[in-house]
Amino acid sequence: MSYLVITGDKHIRPKEPYCSSILKVLDWFLESEYNHEDNIYFSLGDETEESINKGAVNDYLLSFYSKLKMKKKYILKGNHDESRDHGCNLDIFNSDSSVEVIHEYAVMNFGVSQCLLLPYIYPKDGRTMEDIYSNSLSYKETFDYCLGHVFDETKQFSKNQSICDLSGLNIKQRLFGHDHGFDLDKGGNYLGSMHPNSNTEKNKNAFFYVIDLETGEGKAVPIPRFLNFYDVMYPDKLPIFEEPYQVLRIIDYVDREATIRLYTEQMLSQNKGFYKRRMERKKLAQTLENVDIANDTKLTLKQHLVNYFQHKKVDSKVSDIINKAVEKRGIV
């Protein structure tokens, strides 16, 4: 059997742990049964995070395509692949005849399936992509699939939001990138990204999609989760993580340096690096919760802290960190 193998956004970038994680996803994909010379590869765009890249990012992208065994490879241009200031990063494939970049809307047949292709395009001749795709696509035929990098009318959450209204076209199945959430299982149109790129994709499962070239039937194929996002309430001990990479949000820390040391040690004990996306400091008023200073003015603030730690049975390591932080601020 031969397939059209479709993947969503990659967003390769140098920042860790996102770089190492997406490279593990791509290595896994290269080892999958679908990386076969009889298949055709199709990317829905946003290969990299930026439209201009130096050094390793483009090397990673070129290396991935060189290792694909599929006879033909297509890339649908996404909004991150091009900018008006820097041009199109996908020009790095100009010398590779096995890779075709799709810059303009087109119709192509893959096996028995007729497909409408809608790349992301910047305004031209005074017309936006949304205007062109909503009002200038006058196809009368029925398409088996529409592969795009757009927000369609199902993604319009307000009257002012610009979308591509494709409701006037006859399309059996839409498969879009651009939006990172997979919703095909709920009757939606979005394949989603291959890899989480922000906390909004926390706990989401990733997929790619394959279409049988002989029958036109398609199915989603799950991708293992290599990265996830977690909220940690300081000073809670970190759980044992299953994924290779984690990005943490630390809530209610007291001393920044001590908190980073604490969780770096715990991550190292799992042979992992410590990566944070956000740290939120605990307010002193929260630290002194349930301590009624007004009714006992004879005690200093430091003595109230000691009573509070004893009442709450706070670990001595944690109380020492808080005491040092208080002393740094000259509070007695």
CATH code of residue 155: 3.60.21.10
Closest CA to 108 of 179, 211, 184: 211
- In this structure, are 16 and 127 located in the same domain? yes
CA 221 to chain centre: 18
At 231 the three-state DSSP class reads strand
- In this structure, are 283 and 162 located in the same domain? no
List the beta strands (DSSP E) in the chain: 3-7, 40-43, 72-76, 82-83, 87-88, 99-102, 106-110, 113-118, 142-148, 170-176, 206-212, 218-223, 227-233, 245-253, 276-281
Q: Count how many domains the chain has.
A: 2
At 203 the three-state DSSP class reads coil
The stretch 147-173 carries a mean pLDDT of 89
- In this structure, are 262 and 196 located in the same domain? no
- In this structure, are 30 and 170 located in the same domain? yes
The stretch 180-188 carries a mean pLDDT of 89
- In this structure, are 196 and 217 located in the same domain? yes
Q: Are strands 218-223 and 227-233 parallel, antiparallel or unpaired?
A: unpaired
Of 24-33, 271-280, 287-296, give the lowest mean pLDDT range.
287-296
Q: Which two tokens stand for residue 331?
A: 């509070």
The stretch 12-16 carries a mean pLDDT of 96
324 pLDDT above the threshold of 90: no
Closest CA to 114 of 134, 141, 136, 75: 141
Residue type, 122: Y
298 pLDDT above the threshold of 90: no
CB of 47 closer than 8 Å to CB of 231: no
- The whole-angstrom separation of Cα 209 and Cα 43 is 10
Helices 316-328 and 256-268, packing angle to 10 deg:
150
Residue 269: which domain range?
Answer: 230-328
Q: What is the pLDDT of residue 288?
A: 52
- The whole-angstrom separation of Cα 16 and Cα 140 is 47
Share of the chain above pLDDT 90, in %: 75
- In this structure, are 118 and 256 located in the same domain? no
- The whole-angstrom separation of Cα 293 and Cα 164 is 61
Q: Are strands 99-102 and 72-76 parallel, antiparallel or unpaired?
A: parallel
Q: What is the pLDDT of residue 128?
A: 95
161 pLDDT above the threshold of 80: no
pTM of the model: 0.84
Confidence at 286, pLDDT banded by 50, 70, 90: low
Closest CA to 152 of 123, 129, 125, 185: 129
- In this structure, are 216 and 238 located in the same domain? no
pLDDT, one tens digit per residue, over 63-95 is 999 999 998 999 999 999 999 888 999 999 999
Confidence at 313, pLDDT banded by 50, 70, 90: confident
- In this structure, are 122 and 167 located in the same domain? yes
What contacts 199, CB < 8 A, 6 or more positions away? 229, 247, 249, 277
- The whole-angstrom separation of Cα 198 and Cα 84 is 25
Q: Which two tokens stand for residue 211?
A: 């279409």
CA dihedral 11, 17, 21, 23 (to 10 degrees): 70
- In this structure, are 133 and 234 located in the same domain? no
| Total Cβ atoms within 10 A of residue 25 | 22
Confidence at 44, pLDDT banded by 50, 70, 90: very high
φ/ψ of 49, rounded to 5, equals -70, -35
Structural domain ending residue among the three candidates 181, 200, 223 = 223
- In this structure, are 100 and 197 located in the same domain? yes
- In this structure, are 32 and 171 located in the same domain? yes
φ/ψ of 200, rounded to 5, equals -65, -15
Structural domain ending residue among the three candidates 202, 223, 244 = 223
What per-residue string of b and e applies to 255-278 under the rule 16 or more CB within 10 Å gives b? beebbeebbeeebeeeebebbeee
Structural domain ending residue among the three candidates 160, 195, 223 = 223
- In this structure, are 121 and 248 located in the same domain? no
